[in-house]
């Protein structure tokens, strides 16, 4: 029998799929991404464009070497849809434009960015829009507000953000609110009664509750409050990297019952324990310099020198986080949330949005099935969007 095997089959049995050259997995990844929209949970290009002087200062249609995202790179990366972050700095809570105004300006920028490049980009407000745009060969632009301070404690403002097409709101950024607690806060409280009202109203409006940046108590409270699936738009696994921004296994285990998704962040300090420890020590040394009265320029210079010596995170480590979330929460509850253009350092091999196929190729190399790869690339988050729309429609 053995001698009768066709030569090709014989070769395949000698060289199982894990031994095929990486190039073949990349080709397979690109082929898959032609059949399913890759949907990234978090990209900070709106604020990156804003700080460069606005839309007129950046030509998004040509390669921008200093940005991690532009249309040519999105195309090379097979990106089908992007949640653009309407990021609102917490400092707006103290001075400058009001948080709600800042959020409105970010939403305006996202819509004008999308309208400026109609051959490549199209707005999406529902799961069906993403699918329609994908069929038409366009990259969907979805809006997520980063920082619940944007609503300025007003359910009316929340309803108006929904009317503008906002599809997720990250409940906090780095600073706690009166109704939700940030991951970096030492306080152990979670959602206040008003925070629960916000979650219920988001459910009613069809806005996904995003738990990236909140502390564990807020994650837990939101999971017990929501009537719709939740998301972590850009967070990795804390069992692998002990960062407060990452999701602990105790919460990952609750994702199947909730139906939500954890979209893995590529930030080196969130995916590599060595980088996290190094960054912690850098911050401690910077604090010591400030405490010793050294001036700001010295601290900045020192930070630059230390950062250049930092260990590097890798694409494989990002894949490790995806594997871990699959193992603990299940393959239906993991996605991609790069944080490109919001992070200053990148993993080796995942330098910008053009590199998504390399990550998909790594999963294929590790033996992931095409079915499972399609889920992590986009089908899981499409399911979350659709389920959120259904909960909103019922109320
Ligand atoms: Zn963030």
The predicted-structure confidence for 290-307, as pLDDT tens digits, reads as follows 999 999 999 999 988 998
Burial grade of 1 (CB within 10 A; 0-12, 13-18, 19 or more): exposed
Residue 96 belongs to some domain of the structure: yes
Distance of CA 303 to the CA centre of its chain: 26
Can you give the length of the chain in residues? 395
* Average pLDDT of span 377-387: 98
Task: Categorise residue 210: left if φ over 0, alpha if ψ from -120 to 50, beta otherwise.
Answer: beta
Residue 304: inside a domain: no
Give the total number of structural domains in the chain: 1
How many angstroms does the Cα of residue 25 sit away from the middle of ligand 1? 31
Tokens of 311: 């260990």
In a domain, 288, yes or no: no
pLDDT tens by residue, 147-161: 999 999 999 999 999
Is the whole model's pTM more than 0.85, yes or no?
yes
* Å from CA of 203 to ligand 1 middle: 22
Give catalytic residue positions.
42, 44, 146, 173, 213, 234, 339
Say how many Å lie between the CA of residue 343 and the centre of ligand 1.
Answer: 9
The answer to whether position 199 is within a domain reads yes
Tens of pLDDT, residues 189-231: 999 999 999 999 999 999 999 999 999 999 999 999 999 999 9
> Please, is 248 exposed, middle or buried when counting C-beta atoms within 10 Å of its C-beta (0-12, 13-18, 19+)?
middle
The mean per-residue pLDDT over the stretch 175-181 comes to: 97
Phi, psi torsion values for 126, nearest 5 degrees = -140, 165
Looking at the DSSP assignment, which residues form a beta bridge with residue 38? 79
The predicted structure's pLDDT at residue 394:
85
Residue 234: predicted pLDDT: 98
Model pLDDT for residues 70-80, shown as the tens digit of each residue = 999 999 999 99
Q: Decide if 305 is inside a domain.
A: no
**Closest listed residue to residue 158, CA positions, set 194, 214, 126, 202:** 202
Ligand 1 centroid – CA 120 distance (Å): 26
pLDDT at residue 62 greater than cutoff 70: yes
What digits encode the pLDDT tens for the residues 248-283?
A: 999 999 999 999 999 999 999 999 999 999 999 999
Residue 89's pLDDT is 94
Average pLDDT, the chain: 94
How far, in Å, is the centroid of ligand 1 from the Cα of 192? 22
Cα of 344 vs centre of ligand 1, distance in Å, is 12
Q: Is residue 280 part of a domain?
A: no
Distance 174 CA to ligand 1 centre (A): 8
In a domain, 220, yes or no: yes
Q: Is residue 11 part of a domain?
A: no
Alpha carbon dihedral 22, 23, 28, 33, in 10-degree steps, equals 100
CATH of the domain at 41: 3.20.20.140
Q: Containing domain of residue 200, as a range? A: 21-272+312-394
Q: Could you tell me where the beta strands, DSSP code E, fall in 107-234? A: 121-123, 139-146, 166-170, 208-210, 231-232
As a dihedral over the C-alpha atoms of residue 370, residue 42, residue 85, residue 269, rounded to 10 degrees, the angle is: -170
352-374 per-position pLDDT tens digit: 999 999 999 999 999 999 999 99
Cα(265) to ligand 1 centroid in Å equals: 9
Q: What is the DSSP letter of 246?
A: S
């Amino acid at each position: 029998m053995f001698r009768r095997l066709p030569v090709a089959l014989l070769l395949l049995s000698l060289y199982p799929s894990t031994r095929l050259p990486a190039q073949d997995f990349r080709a397979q990844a690109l082929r898959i991404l032609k059949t399913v929209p890759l949907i990234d949970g978090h990209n900070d290009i709106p604020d990156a464009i804003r700080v460069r002087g606005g839309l007129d200062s950046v030509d998004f249609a040509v390669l921008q070497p200093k940005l991690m995202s532009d249309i040519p790179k999105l195309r090379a990366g097979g990106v089908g849809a992007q949640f653009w972050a309407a990021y609102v700095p917490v400092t707006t809570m103290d001075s400058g434009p009001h948080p709600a105004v800042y959020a409105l300006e970010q939403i305006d920028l996202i819509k004008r960015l999308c309208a400026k490049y109609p051959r490549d980009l199209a707005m999406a407000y529902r799961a069906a829009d993403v699918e329609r745009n994908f069929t038409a060969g366009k990259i969907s632009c979805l809006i997520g507000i980063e920082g619940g301070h944007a609503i300025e404690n007003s359910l009316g403002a929340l309803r108006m953000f929904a009317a503008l097409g906002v599809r997720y709101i990250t409940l906090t950024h780095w600073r706690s609110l009166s109704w939700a607690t940030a991951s970096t806060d030492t306080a152990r409280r979670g959602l206040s009664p008003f925070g629960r009202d916000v979650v219920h109203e988001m459910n009613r409006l069809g806005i996904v509750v995003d738990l990236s940046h909140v502390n564990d108590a807020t994650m837990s409270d939101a999971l017990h409050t929501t009537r719709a699936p939740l998301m972590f738009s850009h967070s990795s696994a804390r069992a692998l990297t002990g960062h407060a921004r990452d999701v602990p296994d105790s919460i990952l285990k609750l994702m199947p019952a909730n139906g939500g998704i954890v979209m893995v962040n590529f930030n080196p300090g969130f995916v590599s324990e060595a980088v996290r420890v190094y960054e912690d020590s850098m911050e401690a040394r910077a604090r010591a310099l400030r405490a010793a009265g050294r001036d700001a320029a010295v601290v900045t210079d020192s930070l630059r020198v230390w950062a250049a010596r930092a260990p590097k995170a890798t694409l494989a480590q990002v894949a490790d986080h995806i594997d871990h979330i699959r193992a603990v929460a299940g393959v239906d509850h993991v996605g991609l949330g790069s944080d490109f253009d919001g992070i200053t350092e990148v993993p080796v091999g995942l330098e910008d949005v053009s590199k998504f196929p390399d990550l998909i190729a790594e999963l294929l190399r590790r033996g992931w099935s095409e079915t499972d790869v399609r889920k992590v690339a986009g089908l899981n988050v499409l399911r979350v969007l659709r389920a959120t729309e259904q909960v909103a429609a019922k109320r």
